[in-house]
Structure 1
Amino acid sequence: MKVVIIGHSGSGKSTLANVLSQHYNCAVLHLDKIHFESNWQERTVSQMISDISAVMLQNHWIIEGNYELHP
């Protein structure tokens, strides 16, 4: 199972992702957690792509968030 959840801020993306993750016992990647460092500094595009790619190599995953990259 591979699921991507997108939506506006406060729409319940994280809640839905967490419920599905527990129900189906699969990894969930919250894009907010990889977009920023702990001090709210933005991470590089290559760092984010590396994290997303690592999750996508798994057989089952859920990715949630609402980001787009502008080169």
Structure 2
Amino acid sequence: MRVLVFGNSGSGKSTYAKALAAQHGLAHLDLDSIVWEPGKIAVPRDPQSVSASLDAFIASLAEWVIEGCYGELVEDAAPHCTQLVFLNPGLETCQANNRRRPWEPHKYASMEQQDAMLANLQSWVADYYSRDDAWSYQAHRRIFDAHRGVKVEYTDASQTASAA
């Protein structure tokens, strides 16, 4: 089983991926952990290093779950997955999930630091449907629609709870 989970920030990717990994004993890769410099806020790693980390993870493991919003990395990993999962619960759900998000120590030094970034995150999440970058709804929709393998799109957060 090689599952690739993607969607907007707050769509439930991490929750879904962690549950799937625990239930099936899968290795889990949160793409945030390879995209950003460790211990720094919003400082991207060198793109070649990011690609090398993703390729090494995929090549070294027979079963895994990968999750993230990064369209270019989703496209790179998609040919290797046995199931593509697009979490698309809508803007209100994503923003509500972000407001309830527990501290993410792999991204922020403190909960206060994370909370200070919430307004920026919520604005970025709201722009998901109007942007046209690799992390946008447009890019995610194109990736999902073009995928020829097994795929599922969840538009209701309650669907993901029972699916994992």
TM-score, scaled to structure 1: 0.89
- Cα deviations across residues 11-34 of structure 1 (Å, max 9, x unaligned)? 100000000001111111101111
Which residue of 44, 47, 67 corresponds with 1:45? 47
Partner of 1:18: 18
Cα distance, 1:2 vs. partner? 0.6
Alignment-derived partner of residue 30 in structure 1: 30
Give the aligned partner of residue 60 of structure 1: 63
Preserved contact between residue 36 and residue 43 of structure 1 (Cα < 8 Å): yes
Counterpart amino acid of residue 67 in structure 2: E
Structure showing the higher helix proportion among its residues: 2
Task: Give 5+ residue unaligned stretches, structure 2.
Answer: 73-133, 135-164
What is the SS of the residue equivalent to 2:71?
Answer: coil
**TM-score w.r.t. length of structure 2:** 0.41
Residue 53 of structure 2 aligns to a residue in which SS?
Answer: helix
Higher relative contact order (CA 8 A, sep 6+): 1
The structure having more radius of gyration, on CA atoms, is: 2
- Are 1:27 and 1:55, in contact at CA under 8 Å, matched by a contact in 2? no
- Report deviation, 1:68: 3.1
Q: CA deviation at 1:45?
A: 0.9
Q: Distance in 1 between matches of 2:10 and 2:71?
A: 18
Q: Equivalents in 2 of 1:30, 1:13: separation in Å?
A: 9
Number of residue pairs aligned between Structure 1 and Structure 2: 70
- Runs (4+) of structure 1 exceeding 4 A deviation are none
